[in-house]
């Protein structure tokens, strides 16, 4: 284990501590906490760790320690019932506002690249909420990670701002899309028809986003404004699809080690804090903004569930509400939801009469323009309640369309 005693000395029982997620995860600190749970006794840890990217072991925390986070997952269910885990149902933009106005911290832990000749410590591939949390903290401590790339297009923190530092050498969290399946490619093909040259795009991580970026390499003048940049952005940049001299922006890079190496060698894509990337003033200025988000289910009203599956909480709102509303209101923009037509190997439709329990709609029907499955695209804009339901049934898997139509007719008879 790295010697991070100087960092640990600044974290005391009862402190509220901010810990970043994504590529900014301070893995050396988390490892120390797992090895000695007593180090977290009585801490109130506030974090932006992301399921599937970061690993936070709640079972290894000390007595009376609590964690507040933006994402939920099944493994946190018992901790949530016991009050050990506090899931905040807010978007990234909403959390950025909370940090700016409401929250204060005793300690902010920032993982950064070692200082350059001028003493600037690059935040590397993850800015997110660090600068906001640091500004609201009594003590800022830093992990100078030899494996954190120094990005020219990311903000830095001066060496002198850190009260305590530790030098570490730990790998960054990675995300690998893996092989792209045929269904994801079909969904991407349907989405691509709505993306013209010069569009401003928000695209997340996953198989469909990766397939979409491959499908858009023949476009020109594309502008990127997103929460996360994954490996797919390399395809767009290398193909010459991106608009030159435009501030392509996200709050994090998350992907394979190849992405991190590439990010350190270029300056076309920049990083900023979530108060900027997800801020209403920034988003309101975007034109031809197309936000593409995934969902677990979409019901026949056009509402989308992003956070629950099979009755269990599996995620959080993330930046989807911020981007979907902005795209819906953007001149010539569109809010797009993309999802496979079925789940459980075809045994369950993802287009449903009503959202499954607990029936939480992350995105309301008013913020969605287009829903896409491998069976087509349902354009909902300007359509009535009845017309929207029919359009959604048409892109459901064929074996479920009859029962969806029957369920809708029953609903319609009561309206």
- Output the pLDDT for position 415: 85
Give mean pLDDT, residues 374-387: 97
Give mean pLDDT, residues 163-179: 94
Domains, in order of start, for the chain:
5-168 (3.40.1080.10), 182-412 (3.40.1080.20)
Give mean pLDDT, residues 275-296: 97
Give Cβ neighbours of residue 103 (< 8 Å, ≥ 6 apart): 16, 46, 133, 136
CB 273: neighbour CB atoms within 10 A?
Answer: 21
* CA angle at 391 for the pair 390 and 394, rounded to the nearest 5°: 90
**Percent of the chain beyond pLDDT 70?**
100
Taking the CA atoms of the chain, what radius of gyration do you get in angstroms?
22
| CA-closest candidate to residue 140, choices 117, 116, 157 | 157
Question: 56 pLDDT band (50/70/90 cuts)?
Answer: confident
pLDDT single digits (tens) 90-145: 999 999 999 999 999 999 999 999 999 999 999 999 999 999 999 999 999 999 99
Question: Could you tell me what percentage of the chain is helix, strand and coil, using 3-state DSSP and rounding each to the nearest 5?
Answer: 30, 25, 45
Question: 279 pLDDT band (50/70/90 cuts)?
Answer: very high
- Output the pLDDT for position 1: 47
> Model's pTM, two decimal places?
0.95
* Residue with more model confidence, 267 or 263: 263
Give Cβ neighbours of residue 56 (< 8 Å, ≥ 6 apart): 30, 47, 49, 67, 69
- Output the pLDDT for position 52: 85
């Amino acid at each position: 284990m790295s010697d991070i005693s100087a960092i640990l000395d600044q974290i005391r029982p009862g402190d509220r501590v901010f810990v970043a997620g994504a590529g900014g995860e301070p893995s050396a600190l988390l490892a120390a906490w797992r090895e000695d749970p007593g180090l977290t006794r009585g801490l109130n840890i506030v974090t932006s760790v992301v399921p599937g990217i970061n690993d936070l072991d709640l079972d290894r925390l000390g007595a009376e320690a609590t964690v507040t986070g933006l994402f939920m997952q099944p493994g946190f269910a018992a901790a949530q019932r016991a009050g050990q885990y506090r899931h905040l149902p807010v978007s990234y933009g909403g959390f950025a506002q909370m940090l700016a106005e409401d929250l204060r911290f005793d300690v902010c832990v920032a993982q950064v690249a070692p200082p350059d000749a001028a003493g600037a410590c690059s935040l590397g591939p993850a800015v997110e909420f660090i600068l906001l949390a640091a500004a609201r903290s009594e003590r800022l401590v830093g992990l100078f990670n030899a494996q954190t790339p120094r990005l020219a297009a990311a903000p830095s923190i001066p060496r002198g701002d850190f009260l305590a530092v530790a030098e570490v050498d730990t790998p960054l969290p990675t995300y690998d899309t893996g092989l792209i399946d045929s269904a994801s490619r079909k969904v991407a093909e349907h989405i691509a028809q709505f993306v013209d040259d010069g569009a401003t795009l928000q695209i997340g991580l996953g198989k469909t986003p990766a397939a979409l970026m491959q499908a858009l390499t023949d476009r020109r003048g594309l502008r990127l404004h997103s929460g996360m940049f994954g490996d797919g952005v390399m395809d767009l940049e290398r193909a010459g699809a991106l608009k030159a001299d435009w501030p392509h922006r996200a709050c994090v890079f998350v992907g394979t080690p190849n992405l991190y190496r590439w990010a350190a060698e270029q300056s076309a894509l920049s990083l900023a804090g979530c108060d900027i990337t997800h801020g209403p003033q920034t988003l309101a200025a975007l034109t031809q903004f197309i936000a593409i988000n995934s969902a677990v289910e979409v019901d026949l009203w056009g509402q989308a569930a992003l956070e629950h599956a099979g009755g269990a909480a599996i995620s959080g709102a993330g930046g989807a509400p911020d981007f979907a509303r902005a795209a819906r209101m953007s001149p010539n923009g569109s809010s797009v939801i993309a999802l496979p037509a079925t789940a459980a190997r075809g045994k369950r439709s993802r287009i449903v009469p009503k959202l499954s329990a607990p029936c939480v709609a992350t995105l309301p029907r008013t913020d969605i323009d287009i829903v896409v499955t491998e069976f087509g695209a349902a354009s909902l804009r300007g359509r009535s309640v009845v017309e929207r339901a029919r359009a959604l049934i048409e892109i459901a898997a064929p074996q479920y369309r009859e029962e969806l139509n029957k369920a809708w007719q029953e609903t319609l008879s009561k309206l």
